[in-house]
Amino acid sequence: MQLPQAVRAHSPTIRIVVTAVAVLLVVAGLTKIVLDSNLTWSQFLQLTVDGLTIGALYAVIALGYTLVYGVLQLINFAHSEVFMFGAFGGLFAARWVVGSSGLPRGAESVAYVAFGLGCGALAGAVAAFLLERTAYRPLRKRKAPRLAYLISAIGASLFASNLAGKEFGRQNVPVPPLFTDGVLFRVGGAEVTLQTLFIFGTAGAMLILLERLVNGTRLGSGIRAVAQDADTASLMGVDVERIIVVTFIIGGLLAGAGGFLYAIVFNASYNMGFVPGVKAFTAAVLGGIGNVRGAVVGGLVLGLVENYGGYLTQASYKDVIAFGVLVMVLLVRPSGLLGERLGRAA
Amino acid sequence: MTVNAPPSSSASSTAVSSPLKRLGALLAVSLVVALMTGPSGDSPTPLAGVKGSIFDVRVFKFLLAAVVIWAITLGYARLQPQIAERRAAVTTTSRRLFARPGSRPITYLLLLVLAIIIPLQLSPAAQQAAVTDVGIYALLALGLNVVIGYAGLLDLGYIAFYAIGAYATAYFTSSRALPTHSSVLFNPFAVFPIALLIAALAGVLLGGPTLRLRGDYLAIVTLGFGEIVQKVANNADGFTNGSRGAFGVPKLSIHVGPINYRWGIDPLPYYYLLVVLIVLVMLAFSALERSRIGRGLAAIREDEVAAEATGVPTLRYKLLAFSIGASTSGIAGVIFATKQFFNPQTFSLQASLLVLTIVIFGGMGSLFGVVLGAIVIQGTFFFLRDVVPPNDRYIYFGALIMVMMIFRPQGLLPSRRRSQEIALAESGGASVEMLSAGTVVER
């Protein structure tokens, strides 16, 4: 909506010059750092594999933000808690089936993992549904201003994460081992473990399914219609309320399954959602919020960039690098890498 | 003033749901309350808490309470007309009382006297909280109110400017607090203008490129800025002393002619300093709100394109609001730094969210509302400290925010303009002229 001003503020020449100078500086700086750091080729490949894996997880969470943003034009601040509940749902399911029988093998292990993923997704969906019911729908009924949604979501997030902290303890809870992890194969010196491949494969499958759902089904066209113009969509016979609930549930399914995948690697805890939540939101904006493919691209790019950057500087600067990239991309290309598409905000 | 529609407090009751549905909702809420108040689980046995609070005899207590409340609401619905009548009578009386010419200065004076007297009666722990929790956060919230309440810009990294103020104080006043320090050391009072300038400059530097972005992007960029400042403070050991924080910033002191005063460990002097600052800031901001700039900001908040089209220099005004907020935050940082030890943990995103919540809870755009919000929220926090396990306070805090947003989104003490906006939105967006008419009457 700020188009006139933006056009006035950046005349094309100035903009091109500024962009060129910025890109040159960044490239020069990066080259210098890479040359100084004696990074080997196989280390680089390993960083790439790890970056893509965490990036795929970011992408799965980012889709929840992007879908909800698409239909409601609001940031679902409590999405990270949906993710957390999904992780705990999957974790309890895995504990229950594994019991005290030790490490499962073969088909057993596949079935257990699938069960954990399913329960995680279910828990995420239930959490997302309850969230929509308590934090969003009452406000929507009253046509509350946009900021009210945000505050209500912040409240819900505080409430949910600390309730989980009270119930499940405030330390990390590990997922029981479900399969024997090991190096499957090497790509030019980088090790690809079963766990890595499994996470990447599951995330990829979910992303493809969602893409088909949004672009190839009746429900998907309903979601896209609401994203474009909710009022007109309702005149065309789309049940907007139902679409909103379904969107929340789809986002919850994805985030819940993603939470379980995340917990397999990093364990589950009551505040596990915060950092990946913020990163995933960054990824969604980076790729172009409201754009399903953009969320995927944004997640992968963010995962790669922060992994490389964390190696080159220090691991604790990962977050700083992630946000730095976001700010720079927004300044040069305010609508994200792929542009906003699903729900162009009015 | 009488032209204005009354604030929409009855809207929640107009959304009547079927009694059975309400019973279901109440029962669900009672289960959640049972969880909240029940025993806690721990990591080795993560489900013990749930078992102890839901699958236990005590749950019937809560379910029974839900049924009782449901019965009461049934009765309440029948009594509604009478209650509404009573309420209207009370509001009109109080309005007549407060609308009497000359009553406003008296009210303000009374509030000021209360603000001076009440802390004298508090326990030492409560006095500490009155300074570090209520006073400083009221100041922070007043600053954020300019950004959000007046200009409608969502700033989620607001606490970063507070950190900048605090670290600037340590850098310019003490040779020991940080690994590095400026070549000339100042009296802490001299740092007020310095911190104000630095924070405002940081605000301009951050705002210059980002204020061109649309609202949600501004939110994420400021959130990122806040995280970056905290991370850098945590990791740049050579400058900020890393996670160990800054220790030994000199206390505030005045040496002017015969006056020789030094602030010490006692929290009360800091409190009174904060009261003075808050009063000054409130006076300045209420003048700002009534000025040409304030009206320009209101126009930007309502409709930026229209504001730009009618000749409001939107970018410059937004930048101004942003840096005014930032410098207020910087000043709060100075007081905090001279009062006590701080480390990067102090400047977390949670703190930013807390300030934001105070502003919205108290009433966006209303100076008294914002201060009241700081008192109520931090007071609740302080009160809960003795009643529930410290970590559980955030559960109640989150629930309070949600309930507040459902039943009173305009905040405790809304600005008149804001409650009109909300009332208008609820009634399905009547004409905009009503808004401007209200403004004419109000000003």
pLDDT tens per residue across span A245-273: 999 999 999 999 999 999 988 888 888 88
Average confidence score pLDDT of chain B: 79
- Report, as an integer, the average pLDDT of B319-346: 89
- Report, as an integer, the average pLDDT of B52-79: 79
User: Is the CB of A285 less than 8 angstroms away from the CB of B220?
Assistant: yes
User: Could you read off the pLDDT of B179-235 as tens digits, one per residue?
Assistant: 777 777 777 788 888 989 999 999 988 888 778 776 667 877 888 888 888 888 888
Phi, psi of B384 (to 5 degrees): -65, -25
User: Is the CB of A152 less than 8 angstroms away from the CB of B397?
Assistant: no
Q: How many CB atoms lie within 10 A of CB B441?
A: 12
- Report, as an integer, the average pLDDT of A285-294: 82
Contact with chain A for residue B364, Cβ under 8 A: yes
Contact with chain A for residue B435, Cβ under 8 A: no
Å between A300 CA and nearest CA of chain B: 19
Which residue of chain B comes nearest to A281, CA vs CA? B220
Read off the pLDDT band of B431 (50, 70, 90): very low
The larger pLDDT score, comparing residue B297 to residue A20, is at B297
What percent of chain A shows pLDDT beyond 90? 14
Å between A188 CA and nearest CA of chain B: 34
Complex-level ipTM = 0.79
User: Is the CB of B227 less than 8 angstroms away from the CB of A319?
Assistant: yes
Residue A311 clears pLDDT 90, i.e. is over it: no
Which residue of chain A comes nearest to B10, CA vs CA? A142
DSSP secondary structure string for all residues of A84-139: HHHHHHHHHHHHHHHTTS-S--HHHHHHHHHHHHHHHHHHHHHHHHHHIIIIIHHH
User: Is the CB of B213 less than 8 angstroms away from the CB of A334?
Assistant: yes
Read off the pLDDT band of A346 (50, 70, 90): very low
CA distance B268 to B118: 11
- Report, as an integer, the average pLDDT of B102-110: 77
Average confidence score pLDDT of chain A: 82
Residue B438 clears pLDDT 60, i.e. is over it: no
Which chain A residues are Cβ-neighbours of B11 within 8 angstroms?
142
Among A65-74, A169-178, B177-186, the minimum mean pLDDT is found in: B177-186
- Position B418 scores a pLDDT of 66
Residue A32 clears pLDDT 50, i.e. is over it: yes
What percent of chain B shows pLDDT beyond 70? 86
A201, with CB counted inside 10 A (0-12, 13-18, 19+), is exposed
User: Is the CB of A330 less than 8 angstroms away from the CB of B221?
Assistant: yes
CA distance A207 to A300: 12
Contact with chain A for residue B400, Cβ under 8 A: yes
The larger pLDDT score, comparing residue B182 to residue A192, is at A192
User: Is the CB of A151 less than 8 angstroms away from the CB of B392?
Assistant: no
CA dihedral angle for residue B187, residue B190, residue B196, residue B197, rounded to 10 degrees: -110
Least CB-CB distance to B315: which of A5, A88, A168? A5
User: Is the CB of A142 less than 8 angstroms away from the CB of B15?
Assistant: yes
Which chain B residues are Cβ-neighbours of A163 within 8 angstroms?
35-36, 395
Q: How far is CA A126 from CA A60, A65, A133, A203, B19, in A?
A: 17, 16, 11, 20, 24
User: Is the CB of B43 less than 8 angstroms away from the CB of A157?
Assistant: no
Contact with chain B for residue A9, Cβ under 8 A: yes
Which residue of chain A comes nearest to B12, CA vs CA? A142
Q: Are A121 and B386 within 8 A, CB to CB?
A: no
Least CB-CB distance to B304: which of A1, A9, A156? A1
Which residue of chain B comes nearest to A131, CA vs CA? B402
Q: Could you give the count of Cα atoms lying within 13 Å of A159 in the half-sphere of its Cβ? A: 25
Interface test with A, best of B406, B407, B412, B421 (most A CBs within 10 A): B406
Which residue of chain B comes nearest to A75, CA vs CA? B216
Shortest CA distance to A325 belongs to which of A302, A307, A344, A300? Answer: A302
Å between A22 CA and nearest CA of chain B: 14
User: Could you read off the pLDDT of A75-128 as tens digits, one per residue?
Assistant: 888 899 999 999 999 988 888 888 767 777 777 888 888 898 999 999 999 999
Least CB-CB distance to A162: which of B44, B216, B394? B394
Which residue of chain A comes nearest to B361, CA vs CA? A151
Which chain B residues are Cβ-neighbours of A8 within 8 angstroms?
none
Q: Are B19 and B74 within 8 A, CB to CB?
A: yes
Å between A46 CA and nearest CA of chain B: 26
Which chain B residues are Cβ-neighbours of A146 within 8 angstroms?
215
What percent of chain B shows pLDDT beyond 90? 10
Q: Please tell me which of B88-92, B138-142, B409-413 the model is most confident about, judged by mean pLDDT.
A: B138-142
Contact with chain B for residue A321, Cβ under 8 A: no
Interface test with B, best of A84, A158, A335 (most B CBs within 10 A): A158
Which chain B residues are Cβ-neighbours of A162 within 8 angstroms?
391-392, 394-395, 398
Å between B56 CA and nearest CA of chain A: 15
- Position B98 scores a pLDDT of 63
Shortest CA distance to A143 belongs to which of B421, B436, B154? Answer: B421
User: Is the CB of B314 less than 8 angstroms away from the CB of A330?
Assistant: no
User: Is the CB of A323 less than 8 angstroms away from the CB of B41?
Assistant: no
A136, with CB counted inside 10 A (0-12, 13-18, 19+), is buried
Residue B12 clears pLDDT 80, i.e. is over it: no
Contact with chain B for residue A330, Cβ under 8 A: yes
Which chain A residues are Cβ-neighbours of B217 within 8 angstroms?
285, 330, 334
- Position A4 scores a pLDDT of 45
Task: Name, in order, each residue with C-beta under 8 angstroms of A255's C-beta and a sequence gap of 6 or more.
Answer: A60, A61, A64, A79, A82, A83, A86, A124, A128
**Taking the model in full, what pTM does it have?**
0.79
User: Is the CB of A168 less than 8 angstroms away from the CB of B41?
Assistant: yes
- Position B289 scores a pLDDT of 86
The larger pLDDT score, comparing residue B293 to residue A288, is at B293
Place of tokens 């807390």: B354
Place of tokens 């691209």: A297
User: Is the CB of A151 less than 8 angstroms away from the CB of B357?
Assistant: yes
User: Could you read off the pLDDT of B30-65 as tens digits, one per residue?
Assistant: 888 887 777 777 766 767 777 777 777 777 888 888
- Report, as an integer, the average pLDDT of A42-49: 84
- Report, as an integer, the average pLDDT of B334-344: 86
Which chain B residues are Cβ-neighbours of A4 within 8 angstroms?
305, 308-309
Contact with chain B for residue A145, Cβ under 8 A: yes
- Position B327 scores a pLDDT of 92
Read off the pLDDT band of B433 (50, 70, 90): very low
Which residue of chain A comes nearest to B48, CA vs CA? A167
Contact with chain B for residue A163, Cβ under 8 A: yes
Which residue of chain A comes nearest to B313, CA vs CA? A5
Tokens of A18: 């500024």
Three-class DSSP labels, chain B:
CCCCCCCCCCHHHHCCCCHHHHHHHHHHHHHHHHHHHCCCCCCCCCCHHHHHHHCCCHHHHHHHHHHHHHHHHHHHHHHHHHHHHHHHHHHHHHHHHHHCCCHHHHHHHHHHHHHHHHHHHCCHHHHHHHHHHHHHHHHHHHHHHHHHHHCCCCCCCCHHHHHHHHHHHHHHHCCCCCCCCCCCCCCHHHHHHHHHHHHHHHHHHHHHHHCCCCHHHHHHHHHHHHHHHHHHHHHCHHHHCHHHCECCCCCCEEEECCEEEECCCCHHHHHHHHHHHHHHHHHHHHHHHHCHHHHHHHHHHHCHHHHHHCCCCHHHHHHHHHHHHHHHHHHHHHHHHHHCCECHHHHCHHHHHHHHHHHHHHCCCCHHHHHHHHHHHHHHHHHHHHHCCHHHHHHHHHHHHHHHHHHCCCCCCCCHHHHHHHHHHHCCCCCCHHHHHHHHHHC
Residue B6 clears pLDDT 50, i.e. is over it: no
- Position B425 scores a pLDDT of 66
Task: Name, in order, each residue with C-beta under 8 angstroms of B36's C-beta and a sequence gap of 6 or more.
Answer: A163, A166, B392, B395, B396, B399
Place of tokens 């910087």: B330
